[in-house]
Structure 1
Amino acid sequence: MARGGLVVEQRPHTHALGAVTGPEPDPDEPLVGRDAELGRLFRAVESTAAGSVVMLVGGMGTGKSTLLRRAACRAEASGGRVLRAEGSEAEANLPFSALHQLLRPVLAEVDGLPERQRTALQDALGTGPAAPRYESAPDRLLTGVAVLSLLSALGDRRPALLVLDDAQWCDRASLEALSFAARRLEGEPVTMLIAARDGGHIAGFDRHTPTLVLEPLDDAAANRLLDQQPRSPTGHTRRRVLDQAGGNPLALVELARAATAQDAAPGLPSAGPLPLTERLERIFAARLDGLPADTTRALLLMAALDSIDSPAVVTAGLPDTEGDVWLPAERAGLVRRSGRDLRFRHPLVRSAVYHAAPARARHEAHRTLAELLRDEPDRRAWHLAAACPGPDAAVSAELERTATRARRRGGHAAAAKAFQRAAELAPRSDDSARLLVEAASAAVFTGDLGWVEELAAAARARTDDPSLLASATVQAGRLAILTLHHSTVFSRLADTAETWAASRPTAALGLLADAAVVGFYSGEDTQRRRVQDILQRLPEDAAAAGLRTWVTAVTDPFGNRAELTPLLPWLAAGAEARPEQLTTVGIMAWLLDETPQAVRALDNAFDRWDSQGALPEGLGGAVAWAYVERGRWDQAREACARTIAVGRAAGLDHAVACAATVDATVLALLGDTTAARAVADEALSLVDPLESRSVSVYARRALGAAAIADGAYETAYDQLRMAFTADGAPVHYHASFPLLADLAGAAVRSGHREDAAALVERCARALADNASPRLRALLDRARGLLADPEDAEPYFRAALADPVLAHWPFERAQTLLDLAEWLRRRRRIAEARAPLTEALETFRRLGARPWIERARAESRAAGLDVTDTAPDALAQLSPQQQQIIRLAARGLTNREIGEKLFLSPRTVGSHLYRSFPKLGITARSQLRDLIDGTLAMAGDQP
């Protein structure tokens, strides 16, 4: 069977990395100049018990494929299972094609996955029922969890090695699923080795992926490699080969072959201005001269094939591999035989063969393949497109159907490319514009804003249809709000909204809603005022009342609170059957400090919406913040994990940073301050603090909380003070205010009372009568902490007076603890005991370890008999272990917990195994009794 790939000559001799010129290599044979790199890969393969990922990066011909083969041979010789896939330019547009190639030998194992995971993975791979399971694309995270679970199950039987070559040509959907699993392989007997050409971005694999760079061979190694060639060049010719090759192994071998050729092959080319890749490609192309016509046609058809086109197609379309037609190509060093298979010696050979052919011959080759692929409509469509010399309505329609199938399977990048190519082939400009808007809509989910804007601009150039123009702009705006460059994005959205205010008010309002979100992220007051100004110029429309409310709430939640709060129940009722709108209502309620309503709306939304969308929502961090404030920290962390996973897969650093700051805050409150600081610092590294004041303030909140937990009050004050300007104004019009009470507490303990008091009063004047009950309580707590001792009590009492404040359990418990400490210092010890008892109970329920210790110390000082209770045993566990224990106590299986927390079942089991001795239990059945009383945090407080 002929397939694209690396090729070996018939004549065996010593091989070179990246240019194998003999039979499949002996894995024990030394490699020229690559011992260190091979040793690094061997160590990765041999340490599969810990799980590892290594990215192998190098230029064309540096030996990546050979190194991968050696590592695979080592793994197989050690009894491991090896799964392989090769990226292909022709298949980069086919969603999940690389993943299907990788998992093809173990597809039967998919049946053992939980139903939701099995369905998601089968739908992604196209191996499920013919009818689509989803109205929209399947949840990309669920697909990633399914891949992780499958790899974990394979590793349970024997160590597994995944080898992905030419990853720069793998489809994006496959890379996202594999990168999701790769970040969670710790503790799994699974290793992932990925090779890619340098300079390319491999979706999902970021700067944190361990990377091994293949540098050019040094002079000594280059000379050794030349010495090992059958006809080693000498003298002036040798110096020219060394000079032109620049240490590239493939170039050394091929240039040496060309320089010493004794047949019709071309001699050594001049160095010239051409890049090395083009020079080598010309060498390969020149070897086509003089080949028989039948051989040239066979080579071109082989070059046009996808690497996993069906065997029936290959058999029908190409001459038999045992036939004489291939012998001239073998003698020319263009293909190699391995058993009954034929392969190109290198991807550059395939490229040279394809591009050296006349356009008419290439078109004919693709038409031949398309005719043979009638049972594979997606591959057929792309071959038909490649055969088109110009516009063709029928082929455009075929590609549109391919794009629709790709989008349904979650292959957003593949869908966008198919829509884009369909647009290029559409004869009518209005059809072309429509398809480009569809392409932009699909490309949104790749996170590539530049591509989305390019598609939108191309659509605008082809039509003056108002609805299409509006849709193209809205698609770009939809992604723009999740990216980093808020100033540029805001201007673009606001300018267009202002232009359309009179002629297209509905579209203008949609863009203004996005602009408001960007303004929230940036925290720039001039942007807020501009949004409000444009909103006033838009006509009132009852059908758009919800969107107007959104814009108002996002831009001025406190100034408009009295007007907007009564609308929340009405908006929630109207959105009851639409989970995405319920989520919007929940975010608005959070902005207005109506956290109980926010959580109810979000709970209702998620009950009706298993898949929370393929991208984070605008202000998606608000979901996690609402759960934090409500005391449901496990759910907050689950929401953060989802947003971080989706954001990383789509390359949306800002979305990742938003979620990371919430997660860092929860980690600090739980007492894992080292992890909290690491996560907060990473969030800060992902954004420009002047472009995203919201993330900056939230990160300072997390770092301040970590410092308070450690008792480092000077550091805490420095961090929290950065949420306000030098003269005490809030850096962010919404995010800064909740920090006031903690800032006051840190100030009192670090000698900054006067500065903090001035800051608190300035904020109080800014809020005036617009402060929510929650903010009034925080202001009162801050004033109590900063007041002279004889004046503090009324403020603490006021901060506890409103029963509604019980909906913010941690903040209320902090105030109770402050009051109790004040009472004890005033020798009113008996009065201090009740607030101390209530505060300690709340801290225990939440698992706020540093505050538990502080409350226990204060309770002992007040004469209370404080004994450890069962829930305190959780304090010995990491936050993630606590999450797993609580979910296990609710009866969830390891697989169900893994699906919820994006972990493998093995990882869940490992955490449980390590946690049981710390908890003093031996069986899962004991967990419910142990956790009894702590699960109140998973439901609404009265």
Structure 2
Amino acid sequence: MDEHTGDLGAVTGPEPDRGEPFTGRDAELGRLFRAVESAAADPVVMLVGGMGMGKSALLGRAVRRAEASGARVLRAVGSESEAHLAFSALHQLLRPLAAEVDGLPKRQRAAIQDAFGTGPATPGHASAPDPLLIGSAVLSLLSALGDRQPVLLVLDDAQWFDRASLDALSFAARRLVGEPVTMLIAARDGDHVAGFDRHLPTLVLEPLDHAAANRLLDRQPRSPTGRTRTRILDQAAGNPLALVELARAATAQDAAAGLPSAGPLPLTAHLERIFAARLDGLPADTTRALLLLAAMDSVDSPIAVPAGLPNAEGGDPWLPAERAGLVRRSGRDLRFRHPLVRSAVYHAASAGARREAHLTLAELLRDEPDRRAWHLAAACPGPDADVSAELERTAARARRRGGHASAAKAFQRAAELAPRREDSARLLVEAASAAVFTGDLAWVEELAAAARARTDDPSLLASATVQAGRLAILTLRHSTVFSRLTDAAEGLLVSQPAAALALLADAAVVRFYSGEDTQRRRVQDLLGRLPEDASSTGLRTWVRAVSDPFADRAELVSLLARFATEAKARPERLTTAGITAWLLDETPQAVRAFDEAFDRWQVQGALPEGLGGAVAWAYVERGRWDQAREACARTVALGRAAGLDHAAACAATVDATVLAYQGDTTAARARADEALALIDPLESRSVSVYARRALGAAAAADGAYETAYDQLRLAFTADGTPVHYHASFPALAELAAAAVRSGRREDAAAIVERCARALADNASPRLRALISRARGLLADPEDAEPHFRAALADPALEHWPFERAQTLLDLAEWLRRRRRIAEARAPLTDALEIFRRLGARPWIERARAESRAAGLDVTDVVPDALAELSPQQQQIVRLAARGLTNREIGEKLFLSPRTVGSHLYRSFPKLGITARSQLRDLVDGALAPAGHQG
């Protein structure tokens, strides 16, 4: 693969604005000016158009306007040949900020330095920087710059930015609201810019109309006339660059050969031909210099200019190129006038000349092994084991830095250069393994297919299939993916049982997402036909728990200890062990595993995702809602960066549920609706049920119990069967609570009893408690107490504090209505304490009202002041009370330090305090019991 075949010119930024009038772009220019001048404007604006439509010129004018108004401008230009180098675009953008990077918090600074390959080397340490930490570092840098002056980021030819840079920049872009930072992004029409393709204000540069095109020709130094003008207008088709360059070529003395005698040519080919014609008659040294510049990986002209070029008889080899309109210079800054010039120069050279140019650059770049490897690869006329090995090392370095797309490209190119087919197949499997983390399923499948075409090795064939399966489970095509995974597993049952089990593990996840019962039977059949292997106990337990956690729950719980022990020896399995525990309602064990996993992965890169929102759900159940929302933010960021809508939808439903519990019902409904919009409810029953539970909780928080019941009822079929075999059951108690208040007792009671029969002895203690609470709510008043007492009997149920507090409140309400007021006070006090600690505002109000009716004095205003804050403000206040700085809080919640400070500023008056030092006492007071008998 030749990475130097693109049209991108070696330029360092948008064309400088020299004040020339624009033609036909008044509206677009005005929109860009408003973006760079107004703090209320959109923080990110996309500029889209075909090659030569004037994107760079418009950006240049916007840059001039921003600089004139005192803004700090940072620029980066994409390079097709650098798209495989992880963080190369980000490095170009942030290179002027070395001092500011040094001032970042230690972890953020280290992440940026590691990404750029400038951090201290640690022997034997192969950790990758956390992409979210890098995104937070970029956000911190921009926020800090914005404290001093407005900031403008200009990203030109962004379609050729490397994926790692785009992930970091898109992460920051989504959090720029309220910051004096504007981002202008220019990209080729029809090209995808990862992370920036949804819901952004976009200016599309259309071709100039006939009148504007004529005005542009009129402004040329030698304006064409007559038939020549007509032909230029026809062939340029409104493209400003084509109009200018065709006019220049047509009016030159020797331009006759530049324009064909009849008929139009493809526009790009025609322009390249014209630019290439300018090379004729240039001195040999100039031609060689231009080819070196065209072959370069970056805009680093200080390398190209002194690249061992002999002067042309003592003259300047670049001067003839300047006179020919091919390059522009400003001091040591040298660049092509337009991307087409670079393309024309490169393709006009012979294959031998191009190869020689790349070898020259490789020699100059001995201290930059990654760029050197790609130049050596470009110089290879055929397979080369040494260069293949160089690229493999480049890929390994990129993967350690978290540049998965760059790693995959390097592995893929190394495979193309590997002389031995088996080596090529192995490298393609490695490429597929790295590409999994880009979210590009088509690419992963292409790499896996190429690997299969190169080898008969059963192990490599199985690995290729497994890699494709790893990513497929996170897409929305669950039915198709499940069939593919199970068919592949069946074919490997005998020859490659370990690979077959790995595929079954992925198939079980698809079964969880879809909730389809026929898939459970298929998984169980294949699992039963696999030969027994003691080393596979953990993975077998996973398959059984994920596909049917309540079939043999007691046995599966007994296997958890062994699974946990295995995870201690192999830390990468911690999340797998945690998710298994969560599925079995062993939530405390799950949270311990997740805590340890987060601690370990802080220094190893992004936490591997298992079953979407499982981590966040476990934290919700344990009452650690702030951490649940942090986990959701992480998953959503990773899912969006990789284009994995299903993962983002999973996390959105958990976030919606917490927001509903905290009383931010408008935000909760928006998040739940967002999740539902991303999935097909028949393909993703788990996400659909979670979203309905969140919408039900939001309605209940608002007191709209009929709506709450309607939403929660959708977690069950018309005959009362759970829509999802795991996600529906926890909704039973909430369904009953809404039923009581909306006159649906009979329907709800039938569903509760049907589910109780289905679970029978396999129900977890948690589910038994929820069913008992539901029965208490639905029972006749004289029969309710035993059910409430049963729901509170097991001390272990304190591990689910919100559910326990709801039951305590239900019992207290029942006791007070039976005029057993003294007995009601203890459960009321306990419930109110828990609700306060969690920040569950709607339930705090219910418990306070019930407490007053029971004669308790609950006028303690200060602790309740926390409940008046928004959920996000509560998170920030609690973290600040623990002593975290604004930067540290922003790093945890993926917010800028400025946004954190703004939330604290607005929170202090509501809390009745004036200093940060008062937060700890206030938060501690909110967690302490406050009610007492009046």
TM range (shorter): over 0.9
| Pairwise CA distance, 1:611 | 4.7
SS in 1 for 2:307: helix
Q: Are the aligned partners of 1:728 and 1:762 in contact in 2 as well (CA < 8 Å)?
A: yes
1:6·1:343 contact (CA, 8 Å) conserved in 2? yes
Aligned match of 1:902: 894
Matched, 1:54 2:16: no
Q: Are residue 64 (structure 1) and residue 55 (structure 2) matched?
A: yes
Q: Deviations over 1:302-322 (max 9, x none)?
A: 211122346244312446699
Contact 2:10 2:299 in 1 (8 A): no
Query: Which of residues 584, 588, 591 in structure 1 aligns to 2:580?
Result: 588
Aligned counterparts, 1:166-177, within 5 A = 166-177=157-168
Contact between 1:260 and 1:267, CA under 8 Å: does it hold in 2?
no
- Give the deviation of 1:639 after TM superposition: 1.0
Q: Provide closer, same or farther for how the CA distance between residues 664 and 826 of structure 1 changes in structure 2, counting only shifts above 3 A.
A: same
Note closer, same or farther for the CA distance 1:452–1:162 as it changes in structure 2 (3 Å cut). same
Q: State the 1:770 CA deviation.
A: 1.3
Residue 442 (str. 1) matches residue 430 (str. 2): no
TM-score after normalising by structure 2: 0.94
2:311, 2:627 → 1: CA distance?
60
Post-superposition CA distance 1:681-728 (Å, at most 9, x none): 111122222221111111111111111111122221221111112222
Partner residue in 2 for 1:726: 718
1:417 aligns to 2:409 (yes or no): yes
Quickly say closer, same or farther: Cα 1:713–1:541, change in 2 above 3 A. same
Aligned residue runs from structure 1 range 417-496, under 5 A? 417-496=409-488
| Structure 2 CA distance for partners of 1:863 and 1:820, relative to 1, 3 Å | same
Q: CA deviation at 1:616?
A: 4.2
DSSP-derived class of the 2:542 partner = helix
Contact 1:84 1:102 in 2 (8 A): yes
Could you tell which deviates more after superposition, 729-738 or 400-409? 400-409
Shift of 1:797: 2.4
Structure 1 residues 314 and 450, CA gap change in structure 2 (3 angstroms): same
The answer to whether the 8 Å contact 1:49/1:190 transfers is no
Structure 2 Cα separation of the partners of residues 352 and 615 of structure 1: 45
Matched, 1:304 2:295: yes
| Structure 2 CA distance for partners of 1:749 and 1:277, relative to 1, 3 Å | farther
CA distance 1:248–1:592, shift in 2 (3 Å)? same
Q: Distance in 2 between matches of 1:770 and 1:193?
A: 57
Contact 1:668 1:705 in 2 (8 A): yes
CA contact (8 A) 1:781 1:815 kept: yes
Q: Check whether the contact 1:160–1:189 (CA below 8 A) recurs between aligned residues.
A: yes
Counterpart Cα distance in 2 of 1:448 and 1:874: 44
> In the superposition, relative to structure 1, how do residues 275 and 879 fare at CA in structure 2: closer, same or farther (>3 Å)?
farther
1:753-764 matches, cutoff 5 A: 753-764=745-756
Find 2:347's aligned residue among 343, 351, 355.
Answer: 355
- 2:96 pairs with 1:144: no
Is 2:884 aligned against 1:886?
no
1:244 aligned partner: 235
Give 1:781's aligned residue: 773
Could you tell me whether the CA contact under 8 Å between 2:77 and 2:157 is conserved in 1? yes
Matched residue type, 2:596: N
Q: Map of 1:686-725 to 2, 5 A cutoff?
A: 686-725=678-717
* Residue 155 (str. 1) matches residue 155 (str. 2): no
**1:239, 1:7 → 2: CA distance?**
32
Match of 2:177 in 1: 186
Encode CA deviations 1:877-903: one digit per residue, 9 max, x unaligned.
111111111011111122221221122
Say whether residues 1:114 and 2:105 are aligned partners.
yes
In the alignment, is the contact (CA less than 8 A) between 1:51 and 1:185 conserved in 2? Answer: no
2:84 alignment counterpart? 93
The reply to whether residue 196 of structure 1 matches residue 187 of structure 2 is yes
Question: Partner residue of 1:13?
Answer: none
Paired letter, 2:771: L
SS in 1 for 2:792: helix
Structure 1 residue 570: Cα displacement: 3.4
* Aligned twin of 1:33: 24
CA distance in 2, matches of 1:72, 1:920: 45
Aligned ranges 1:508-527 → 2 under 5 Å: 508-527=500-519
- Aligned: 1:643 with 2:635: yes
* Superposed CA offset, 1:764-806 (max 9, x none): 2211221111111211222222233333333222222222222
AA at the equivalent of 1:126: G
| CA drift at 1:443 | 1.1
Aligned pairs for 1:916-927 within 5 A: 916-927=908-919
Counterparts of 1:128 and 1:629, CA distance in 2: 40
Structure 1 position 4, deviation (Å): 7.5
Match in the other structure for 1:12? none
Q: Distance in 2 between matches of 1:274 and 1:775?
A: 72
* Contact 1:95 1:174 (C-alpha < 8 Å) held by counterparts: yes
Match in the other structure for 1:850: 842
**What is the CA-CA distance between 1:272 and the residue it aligns to?**
5.4
More moved, 236-245 vs 874-883: 236-245
1:346 to 2:338 alignment: yes
Superimposed CA distance per residue, residues 566-620 of structure 1 (whole angstroms, 9 cap, x where no aligned partner): 2223332342354332222221111011112212222233333325753642214
CA shift for structure 1 position 424: 0.4
What whole-Å deviation, never above 9, does each CA across 1:253-298 have from its counterpart, x for those lacking one?
Answer: 2233333333246444478575433332233234334544444333
Q: Does 1:790 align with 2:820?
A: no
The answer for the alignment partner of 1:394 in structure 2 is 386
Do residues 497 (structure 1) and 474 (structure 2) align? no
Pick closer, same or farther for the CA change 1:4–1:741 going to 2, 3 Å.
closer
Residue equivalent to 1:208: 199
In the alignment, is the contact (CA less than 8 A) between 1:95 and 1:411 conserved in 2? yes
Q: Is the 8 A contact 1:335 1:342 kept in 2?
A: yes
Q: How many residues align?
A: 922
CA-CA distance at 1:134 after TM superposition: 3.9
SS in 2 for 1:801: coil
User: Equivalent residue for 2:74?
Assistant: 83
Q: Distance in 2 between matches of 1:830 and 1:614?
A: 52
Contact 2:42 2:201 in 1 (8 A): no
What is the deviation of 1:340? Answer: 5.2
Partners of 2:266 and 2:708 lie apart in 1 by: 55
Q: Distance in 1 between matches of 2:328 and 2:906?
A: 53
Contact 1:836 1:859 in 2 (8 A): yes
Unaligned ranges ≥5, structure 1: 9-16, 938-942
- Determine if contact 1:445/1:614 at 8 Å carries over to the other structure: no
Give the 3 Å change call, closer, same or farther, for CA 519–313 of structure 1 in structure 2: same
Output the CA distance in 2 between the equivalents of 1:285 and 1:723.
Answer: 66
Unaligned runs of 5+ in 2: 1-6, 930-934
AA in 2 matched with 1:201 = H
Amino acid at match of 2:357: A
Q: Deviations over 1:362-387 (max 9, x none)?
A: 11221222222222211111111111
More divergent stretch after superposition (516-525 vs 181-190) = 181-190
Query: Where do residues 591-610 of structure 1 align in structure 2 (5 Å cutoff)?
Result: 591-610=583-602
Structure-1 residue corresponding to 2:932:
none
Q: CA deviation at 1:206?
A: 3.4
The CA deviation at 1:875 is 1.6
Q: CA deviation at 1:158?
A: 2.0
Q: Is the 8 A contact 1:93 1:417 kept in 2?
A: yes
Could you say which residue in structure 2 is the equivalent of 1:11?
Answer: none
In structure 2, relative to structure 1, the CA distance for the partners of 1:352 and 1:800 (3 Å cut) is: same
3-state DSSP of counterpart to 1:608: helix
The Cα shift of 1:736 comes to 0.8
Contact map agreement 1:897 1:908 (CA 8 A) in 2: yes
Contact kept in structure 1, 2:722 and 2:755, CA below 8 Å: yes
- The alignment's C-alpha RMSD in Å is 2.4
